[in-house]
Amino acid sequence: MTTYQIAGLPGDGIGPECFDAAVQVLRSVERHSGGLRLEITPYAAGAEHYRQTGVALPSEVLDQCLRADAVLLAAIGLPDVRRPDGTEVQPDMMMGLRRAMGLYAAVRPVKLYPGARCPLNTTQAGVDMVILRENLEGLFASFGGGCQLNDVVATDTLVITREGTQRIAEYAFRLAEKRRGRPLDGKRRVTCVDKANVFRSFAFFRKVFFEVAEQYSHIEVDAQYVDAMSLYMVTCPSDWDVLVMENQFGDILSDLGAAIVGGLGLAPSAEVGEEHALFQPSHGTAPQLAGKGIANPIATILSAAMMLDWLADRHRDDDARRGAQLIESSVSQFFKVGTIRPADQGGTASTSQVAVELARLIEVNSGINK
């Protein structure tokens, strides 16, 4: 039996509700996936913690995140909690975690579950792509830096390095090897998304990407400009498999991706490095929904499934893999059957009702799959 230490960061706003729902589903997975055990320890960090103590991410919490087998985070930040300079605590805390844990790859699946609300009418073949966001460089490398000259001009510098680009491009091809290709025809395809026609930095990103691609001749490659890509994601969403891009572009396109498959309440993410990984929904703290019990917890629950999948790869653990598959198939069934629906999907189910139903489906599916 393997026991994994999971550092939990429930955070702010709807974060704690979504976190509790994910833990409830993980407990059901533990009961039905053989020898998997998760010791989940929640830690106080985030905007509310900053309001009370003046510190958003205590150093002992960061230490626990570095020591844990994985980190499960729900959502951080509150718009009314600000530092003396007027900035929110969320960017600082997330950049701190990413840099300390070396989380260079943000993996954002854009998958349409049949039955989920979809604003597009062009998805006969389905939508199942991944936005792979370089997570430490690009425009965000300037975070904490930047420059303002008097009250006249301000700059931030976009940074692209050979090492960072090679690393994320290699991740993209390895990810494509694990997947089943694009929905249209099953072709494995990695697309570099950039603005190489205008900026040297992106021309360099594309050049290094194609150098890496030479080692993966069994995978189709192409490159698209980010403005065109934002159109293609809407007009031909079944054509794409893995899209790899600079940090800021990934930040923007992943919200577009969430929108085309049912909204932020369904958009999970993994942030992965060589030694550490952190899993969190793509959404923020949605403070106007907090405490009402109507937030959709599925993005956090699917992030927990990505965590199990990552643990399965890292530790060659079939029980963790089975746990990830159980969550995935239960979410799929949840939408296919459609007995209950969360509020952001046009239904009336509460956060905890969604968790209870998913836990029930896991129990049912584990019997079927045994």
Q: Which is nearer to ligand ATP, 223 or 305 (CB)?
A: 305
Residue nearest to ligand ATP (CB): 284
CB 311 within 8 A of CB 304: no
Counting contacts by CB under 6 A, is residue 265 touching ligand ATP? Answer: yes
Letters for 306-345 (x = contact with ligand ATP by CB under 6 A, - = none) are --------------------------------------x-
Task: Count CB neighbours of 279 within 10 A.
Answer: 26
User: Using the rule CB under 6 A, which residue among 283, 310, 327, 349 binds ligand ATP?
Assistant: 283
Counting contacts by CB under 6 A, is residue 158 touching ligand ATP? Answer: no
3 state DSSP class of 61: helix
Task: Count CB neighbours of 60 within 10 A.
Answer: 9
User: Using the rule CB under 6 A, which residue among 95, 159, 264, 340 binds ligand ATP?
Assistant: 264
User: Using the rule CB under 6 A, which residue among 299, 302, 308, 327 binds ligand ATP?
Assistant: 299
Task: Count CB neighbours of 116 within 10 A.
Answer: 21
Counting contacts by CB under 6 A, is residue 366 touching ligand ATP? Answer: no
Minimum CB distance to ligand ATP, residue 104 (Å): 20
343 forms beta bridges with none
Percentage helix, strand, coil, to 5, in the chain?
45, 20, 35
Query: For ligand ATP, which stretch binds (CB under 6 A), given 97-105, 162-170, 292-300, 316-324?
Result: 292-300
d(Cα 228, Cα 210) in Å, to the nearest integer? 19
Q: Which is nearer to ligand ATP, 242 or 289 (CB)?
A: 289
Q: What is the DSSP string of 190-250?
A: EEEEE-TTT-HHHHHHHHHHHHHHTT-TTSEEEEEEHHHHHHHHHH-GGG-SEEEE-HHHH
Counting contacts by CB under 6 A, is residue 247 touching ligand ATP? Answer: no
Query: For ligand ATP, which stretch binds (CB under 6 A), given 61-69, 209-217, 246-254, 282-290?
Result: 282-290
CB 303 within 8 A of CB 296: no
Task: Count CB neighbours of 258 within 10 A.
Answer: 24
Letters for 76-95 (x = contact with ligand ATP by CB under 6 A, - = none) are -x------------x-----
Q: Which is nearer to ligand ATP, 16 or 284 (CB)?
A: 284
Counting contacts by CB under 6 A, is residue 286 touching ligand ATP? Answer: yes
Tell me the CA distances in angstroms from 149 to 146, 158, 296, one per residue in order: 10, 18, 44
Binding site for ligand ATP (CB under 6 A): 14, 77, 90, 264-265, 283-286, 288-289, 295-296, 299, 344
